[in-house]
Amino acid sequence: MQIKRYDALSISKAMEKIKADMGPDAIVLSSRRLKGRIEVIAARDDNSEILKEIEVKKCEKEESDTFSIIRSDVNELKSFIMDFKKEGGIYAELTEIKETMSLLFDVLGIQNNGRVSSSLTTVYYHLISVGVSKQRACALIEELKNDSRAENPENYHYTLSAVEDMMKQSMASYYRNTGKKRISTFVGPAGEGKTTTLAKLAARWLFGEKLNVGIITMDTYRIGAVEQLKRYADIMGVSMEVASEKKELERVLNKFADKDIILIDTPGKSSGDESSLLKLKEYFTMGLPLETNLVLSMTSSQESMMDAVARFGIINYNNIIFTKLDDSKKFGSIYNVIDHVGKPVFYIANGQNVPLDLNKMDPAKLARLIVSGRQTLRRLEG
Ligand SMILES: Nc1nc2c(ncn2[C@@H]2O[C@H](COP(=O)(O)OP(=O)(O)O)[C@@H](O)[C@H]2O)c(=O)[nH]1
Ligand SMILES: [Mg+2]
């Protein structure tokens, strides 16, 4: 068998080269996109089983062979498009260009209507650039236009701090009536950081507040999940129990009657797994003194976050914890989510280090973080 590698600017150019060089019987073994180029591995072997099979089919039915060639071409094109999407190539670039253009038109529109000062326009642009949704940025600017603090409209920093204050006020309304409960559960999609965040909080309450802490894991679903938490529990010298059924949970909770605080870890749920969410809901509505934290990673898209807050809404979670801020460049989606679901955020996680990478938050710190971004995160870390 003869195998060769071809470099070309496009798939059609690569196919031309292969056909010219290896003849029409050559088959494509693989293809991948490199920086601005396509690399195609092609093969030709008159004795190969694959080609023999193609030959037989060719003789049997000329027509169906034509279809199979077209189908394989279409599949190849599809896989190319998927690769572009996966690598965030041209697809992501086009999306970004589209967003930037639409933003530009928005800004021009705002400036042209003559009623909005340049500093408000700049603040609007800034809010969008940190990830606040257009709709919410517009609402904030509208509110600011009617606010006495916009009297000094040419001062950008003054206007920005007024917007930050508005965000703070609006988020603060969700922090009322939020007393701490004895049992704290952690729910959310898989891999968002539930177990890691639970371990950070356990350490904080154990060493910082000298509380008698107990840990329960209901995650018997993922391989290694029990061991992962047990390692943390052992290091801290905290008791940990496994409970995957309602009866076991009741037994373990009785066993932990002396604990000041009990943290319950749950398995991550894939989308559409409503039955297990209903099960969790049933466990968590046994009249227990319980609060539920929905854990969301900042590395997830805004769409995935909104999807998770809707799906986990069944459980009636009380708070949201955002994780992986260290892996995120902008934090506007925190405001979008809080504004959408009306739940408070008491903690954010910004790293894999247990227990250090966890910060207590309030509406003022959150508003500062959203408006000022990484600069504020660094200050929190310091
Ligand atoms: N960079 C970063 N990684 C994190 C953070 N929190 C958790 N992780 C990592 O994310 C992965 C999944 O975390 P895990 O707690 O097992 O997620 P779970 O499936 O929701 O329990 C692990 O590799 C963690 O170390 C964070 O704040 N920042
Ligand atoms: Mg886990």
Quote the CA–CA distance of 187 and 322 in Å, as a whole number. Answer: 12
Four-CA torsion 53, 58, 59, 60, nearest 10 degrees: 80
Quickly count: other Cβ atoms within 10 Å of residue 133's Cβ: 17
Instruction: Name which residue sits closest to atom 14 of ligand 1, judged by CA.
Output: 193
Query: Cβ(349) to ligand 1 under 6 A?
Result: yes
Report whether pLDDT(23) > 70: yes
**Which pLDDT score is estimated for 58?**
46
Cβ-Cβ contacts under 8 Å for 1 (sequence gap 6 or more): 43, 44, 45, 47, 48
Query: Cβ(267) to ligand 1 under 6 A?
Result: no
**Which pLDDT score is estimated for 136?**
93
Quickly count: other Cβ atoms within 10 Å of residue 197's Cβ: 26
For 46-61, the pLDDT digits (tens) are 665 554 554 445 445 5
If one compares 343 and 87, the residue with the highest pLDDT of the two is 343
In sequence order, the β-bridge partners of residue 187 are 294
If one compares 122 and 337, the residue with the highest pLDDT of the two is 337
Residue 293: alpha-carbon gap to chain centroid = 16
Query: Cβ(119) to ligand 1 under 6 A?
Result: no
Task: Indicate the top mutation candidate among 192, 196, 297, 324 to test ligand 1's pocket, ranked by most ligand atoms within 8 A of CB.
Answer: 196
Query: Cβ(357) to ligand 1 under 6 A?
Result: yes
In sequence order, the β-bridge partners of residue 216 are 241, 264
Report whether pLDDT(314) > 60: yes
Mean pLDDT of 210-232: 91
Instruction: Name which residue sits closest to atom 12 of ligand 1, judged by CA.
Output: 191
**What Cα–Cα distance (Å) separates residue 265 from each residue in 33, 44, 108, 221, 268?**
41, 55, 49, 12, 9
Binned at pLDDT 50, 70 and 90, residue 159 comes out as confident
Query: Cβ(327) to ligand 1 under 6 A?
Result: yes
Mean pLDDT of 353-378: 92
6-15, 135-144, 147-156, 181-190 — most confident range: 181-190
Mean pLDDT of 64-90: 65
Characterize 256-294 residue by residue with b for buried, 16 or more Cβ atoms within 10 angstroms of its Cβ, and e for exposed: beebebbbbbbbbbeeeeeeebebbbebbeeebebbbbb
For residue 317, give the H/E element and its range.
none
For 289-300, the pLDDT digits (tens) are 899 999 999 999
Look up residue 131 and give its amino acid. G
Burial class (CB in 10 A: 0-12, 13-18, 19+), 239: middle
The answer to whether 270 and 190 are in contact (CB under 8 A) is yes
Prior bond of 363 cis (ω within 30°): no
Report whether pLDDT(36) > 50: yes
Q: For the chain, what is the total number of helices (H) and then of strands (E)?
A: 15, 11
Quote the CA–CA distance of 87 and 82 in Å, as a whole number. Answer: 8
**Which pLDDT score is estimated for 59?**
43
Lowest mean pLDDT across 164-173, 216-225, 349-358: 216-225
Indicate whether this model's pTM tops 0.75: no
Percent over 70 (pLDDT), the chain: 79
**Which pLDDT score is estimated for 43?**
83
Quote the CA–CA distance of 373 and 369 in Å, as a whole number. Answer: 5
Quote the CA–CA distance of 339 and 216 in Å, as a whole number. Answer: 32
Cβ-Cβ contacts under 8 Å for 149 (sequence gap 6 or more): 158, 159, 162, 165
For residue 80, give the H/E element and its range.
helix 62-86
**Which pLDDT score is estimated for 143?**
87
Report whether pLDDT(217) > 50: yes
Binned at pLDDT 50, 70 and 90, residue 170 comes out as very high
Report whether pLDDT(86) > 50: yes
Eight-class DSSP state of 326: G
Quickly count: other Cβ atoms within 10 Å of residue 153's Cβ: 16
Quote the CA–CA distance of 353 and 362 in Å, as a whole number. Answer: 22
Report whether pLDDT(138) > 90: no
Mean pLDDT of 186-211: 95
**Average pLDDT along the chain:** 84
**Which pLDDT score is estimated for 141?**
86
